[in-house]
Amino acid sequence: MSKTHTLPSPGIGPDNEAFVAAAKEGRFVLRWCNDCGKTHWYPRAVCPHCMSAHTQWKPASGRGTVYSYSTMQRTDPPYTLAYVTLAEGPTMLTNLVGQGPWRIGMPVQVRFIASDDGTPVPVFAPA
């Protein structure tokens, strides 16, 4: 019997409820700043680049590249943590799923999996 690594729920609050709602529909969205034009991750209402509160959710490509990764071999089952640099600019801490072998610079695409309470969580698989 194959075990799967269960991710903890991110919880739902004012900063990420729109992200979770989009994820439930299979859509990947990011916060964009209307003043400096940059996007950011982790979801928050204030832009970390210029401190503007004029931010909004916009559709994102869901594409990225592996910046760094580490496979946790001493757990049952093993899983892979990674930093993925999104096509839109930010780098996010996430999990890699699917078949390795992994490599730095590898193109990946977002997927959503259910967390321990069913809330969708973004993970990345080979593109």
- Structural domain includes residue 55: yes
Give residue 83's pLDDT: 98
- Structural domain includes residue 4: no
Give residue 9's pLDDT: 85
Give residue 85's pLDDT: 98
- Structural domain includes residue 69: yes
Question: Residue 29 and residue 26: Cα distance in Å, rounded?
Answer: 10
Range 79-83 contact pairs with CB under 8 angstroms and sequence separation of 24 or more: 79/5, 82/124
Give residue 3's pLDDT: 58
- Structural domain includes residue 56: yes
Question: Residue 103 and residue 39: Cα distance in Å, rounded?
Answer: 25
Per-residue pLDDT tens over the stretch 67-111:
999 999 898 888 999 999 999 999 999 999 988 899 999 999 999
Query: Which secondary structure element, helix H or strand E, spans residue 18, and what is its range?
Result: helix 17-24
Where in the sequence is the domain holding 59, given as residue range(s)?
Answer: 17-126
- Structural domain includes residue 73: yes
- Structural domain includes residue 8: no
CATH code, domain with 102:
2.40.50.840
Give residue 46's pLDDT: 95
- Structural domain includes residue 104: yes
- Structural domain includes residue 36: yes
